[in-house]
C-alpha cells in the first residue's frame, strides 16, 4: 500500500475488566502511523518507534523459524491492524536451512537467515502493516548478520 498505515491501535485491555467494558475503552491513536506498510528500515524505522512511544504502546517482537510461522505472525498483525517486529535468530536461520545441513562456518545459519528475511520482504507488503525485521541480538562481528544485511541492499 502506498498510503501510510492508518495506525488503528486497538488499545490495551485490563485483565480485571470484563471484555465488554474493555471493548468500549478501545482508543484510536491521536495521530496516524507515519510509515508505509511493508518492511520498515532507516529513518522510517526511527519514525515508527517514535510514534509508538508517543502513542504509549509497544510493538510486539516474535521469533520465527519457518515461512508458515512468520506468515501467521503477519496475519495476526494485519487482523489487529498493528505493526510487528519479526525476529530470526542464529538457531532459527539454521533450522530454516534444514537440520540435516551442517552449520560449519555458519553456512546454514547464513543461508536460512537470508532466505527467511527475503521471504518476509516479499510478502510483508501484502499484509498492509509496517513490519520490522530484527536479527535477534545478532553480534556485529558475526558474519551471518553482515550477510543478511548485505543481501537486502
Contacts of residue 46, defined as CB under 8 A and 6 or more positions apart, other chains included, come to none
Residue 44 known to be catalytic: no
Q: At 89, phi and psi to the nearest 5? A: -100, 175
Three-class SS state of 144: helix
The grid cell for 86 is 519479526
Q: Reduce the DSSP state of residue 132 to 3 states and report it.
A: strand
HSE, side-chain direction, 13 A CA sphere, residue 19: 0
Handedness of CA 103, 107, 111, 116 (dihedral sign): positive
Catalytic residue chosen out of the listed positions 44, 104, 128, 136: 136
Query: Beta strands of 1-153 (E only): which ranges?
Result: 38-39, 61-63, 84-87, 130-134
Catalytic residues, by residue number, are 136
Amino acid at each position: 500500500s502506498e498510503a501510510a498505515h492508518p495506525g488503528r491501535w486497538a488499545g490495551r485491555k485490563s485483565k480485571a475488566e470484563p471484555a465488554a467494558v474493555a471493548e468500549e475503552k478501545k482508543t484510536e491513536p491521536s495521530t496516524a502511523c507515519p510509515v508505509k506498510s511493508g518492511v520498515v528500515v532507516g529513518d522510517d524505522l526511527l519514525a515508527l518507534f517514535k510514534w509508538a512511544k508517543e502513542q504509549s504502546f509497544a510493538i510486539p517482537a516474535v521469533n520465527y523459524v519457518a515461512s508458515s510461522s512468520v506468515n501467521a505472525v503477519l496475519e495476526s498483525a494485519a487482523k489487529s491492524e498493528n505493526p510487528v517486529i519479526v525476529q530470526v535468530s542464529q538457531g532459527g536461520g539454521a533450522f530454516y536451512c534444514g537440520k540435516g545441513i551442517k552449520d560449519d562456518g555458519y553456512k546454514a545459519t547464513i543461508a536460512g537467515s537470508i532466505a527467511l528475511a527475503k521471504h518476509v520482504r516479499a510478502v510483508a507488503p501484502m499484509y498492509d502493516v509496517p513490519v520490522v525485521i530484527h536479527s535477534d541480538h545478532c553480534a556485529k562481528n558475526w558474519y551471518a548478520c553482515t550477510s543478511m544485511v548485505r543481501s537486502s541492499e
